Amino acid sequence: MEKNGRTDKITVLIADDHTILREGIRVLLEAQPDIEVVGEAADGNEAVGKARTLLPNIVLMDIGMPGMNGLEATRQIKRLCPDTQVVVLTMHDNEEYIIQILSAGAAGYVLKRAAVKDLVSAIKAVHQGGSFLHPAITKKLIRDYIRRVAEDEDKAPHDGLTDREREILKLIAEGNTNQAIADKLCLSIKTVQTHRTHIMDKLGVHDRTDLVKYAIRIGLVEIDLFTDK
């Protein structure tokens, strides 16, 4: 089904320098009734070019590619195509890669060893305005953050959040999308988005990862929410 010449499926561009892997991912994703693969790219330059041309909802991005790597490609795509979201699919799970790619603007980080359902969940969550971090990645970030907090305990400013803002922050940190929060609190999605903007302004943060870290720090959420089941 199309609307004004555009499909109503989630459109995905796959960027990876391994042809067999790209083809395998395409087959897996096209088995999903609400996902359409609209293109493939073998390096970062091609990924940026095709993102500008195709304007996919999601770019599924490998980090280690020849020429322009996935990190720089993510930065350029987010600058040139701000409505296109990037989900990283990689074998790397060290903290340096994680922080750099999230700082570049990626909204999802999935390990190549993850199950297909995790990849599909990441694409859908990011398309709905949320974020997705593989549980192994989240645990690494939490451990790193706890270590940093222990090294500098006295730098937590008073946040000035209202009770409603803290309630919404808790739900964000637990992985709820804006729509899910709106449904749970009987609010409009626009109201939730406005609260989210106010929270980020008050805390001086710019992405969901920092919101999660802050919520953990002040005890709004428990660490075991992010561990493997």
All structural domains of the chain, each given as residue ranges with its CATH number in brackets, are: 2-139 (3.40.50.2300), 159-226 (1.10.10.10)
pLDDT of residue 222: 57
pLDDT of residue 151: 55
Cα–Cα distance, 39 to 106 (Å, whole number) = 19
pLDDT of residue 152: 52
pLDDT of residue 108: 86
Q: How far is CA 221 from CA 30, 58, 114, 154, 229, in A?
A: 36, 29, 25, 20, 17
Question: What's the pTM value of the predicted model, to 2 decimals?
Answer: 0.60
Q: Decide: residue 126, CB within 10 A, 0-12 exposed, 13-18 middle, 19+ buried.
A: buried
Q: How far is CA 35 from CA 2, 11, 78, 123, 202, in A?
A: 13, 6, 21, 9, 37
For 85-113, how does the pLDDT look when each residue is reduced to its tens digit (9 = 90+)?
Answer: 999 988 877 666 777 888 888 888 888 88
pLDDT of residue 136: 66
Concatenating the DSSP letter of every residue in 98-152 gives HHHHHHTT-SEEEETTS-HHHHHHHHHHHHTT--EE-HHHHHHHHHHHHHHHHH-
The answer to whether 59 touches 80, Cβ cutoff 8 Å, is: no
3-state secondary structure 155-216: HCCCCCCCHHHHHHHHHHHCCCCHHHHHHHHCCCHHHHHHHHHHHHHHHCCCCHHHHHHHHH
Question: Which residue type is seen at 106?
Answer: A
pLDDT of residue 205: 84
Per residue of the chain (229 residues), what is the pLDDT tens digit? 444 444 589 999 999 999 999 999 999 999 999 999 999 999 999 999 999 999 999 999 998 888 888 989 999 999 999 999 999 988 877 666 777 888 888 888 888 887 888 899 999 989 988 888 876 666 666 666 656 655 554 444 456 888 899 899 989 888 888 899 999 999 999 999 999 999 988 888 888 788 887 887 777 765 443 334 3
pLDDT of residue 142: 61
